[in-house]
Amino acid sequence: MCEICISQIKFTTDSFESENIVKEKCKSLFPVENAFALMEFQKEGLSRELMHNLKYKGRENIGNLFAEWTIERLHFKEKPDLIITVPLHKRKQKKRGYNQLQLYADNISKHYAISYDKDIMRRNFHTKAQALKVFSKRVVTKNLFSLNKSISGKHVLLIDDVFTTGNTMSTMAWEILKNKNNKISVLVMANDEG
């Protein structure tokens, strides 16, 4: 990607451990250790176009690009133990052909040497994409996610593409936090300030 295009993206300047808008949003929904967003999601512009291509246009390789940019900007004082990404329902993944978070999380996992278990969390039923819902209708159904195996004593890094209301992340976090020995941090490609 050329420098002119990169300059159009509004990257965040927050650190993982600092107080920031994503961390504040999370704190209102669930206990969170740290949080980081790579960029601000712009309604019009390159970040939206890249995200749209990653999720809906078969451009899975954009996940590698986002991971590269994240690695340049994300530094851990205390590294999480385990990465978990937001899972797609089997039907949606079959239709799309991939989970848009897979390559991103693979790269993050390898670079920072953090274990990544892509099968530990399951989406229990198919729902309409949050991005396609009217903002006021973005409500997460109870029991949307469940763990395929127990997690105990882990600092889990939850990864998603765009953080908007935090409903999806919150539902996953509370599933993990049922075991009080676990801690949650959050990493997202983009923060949508609505």
CA 133/CA 129 separation, integer angstroms = 7
**Which strands make up the sheet holding 82-85, listed edge to edge?**
35-40, 183-191, 155-163, 82-85, 115-116
Asked whether residue 98 carries a pLDDT value surpassing 70, the answer given is: yes
Q: What is the pLDDT of residues 128-165, one digit of tens each?
A: 655 444 544 445 567 889 999 999 999 999 999 999 99
Q: Is residue 158 within a helix (H) or strand (E), and if so which, with residue range?
A: strand 155-163
Q: What is the pLDDT of residues 28-78, one digit of tens each?
A: 999 999 999 999 998 888 888 999 999 989 899 999 999 999 999 999 999
pLDDT score at 151:
94
Give ∠ CA 6-2-18 in degrees, rounded to 5.
25
Q: pTM value?
A: 0.89
When mean pLDDT is compared across 1-10, 152-161, 170-179, the lowest value belongs to 1-10
Radius of gyration of the chain (CA): 16
28 to 64, 90, 149, 166: CA distances (angstroms)? 31, 30, 27, 9
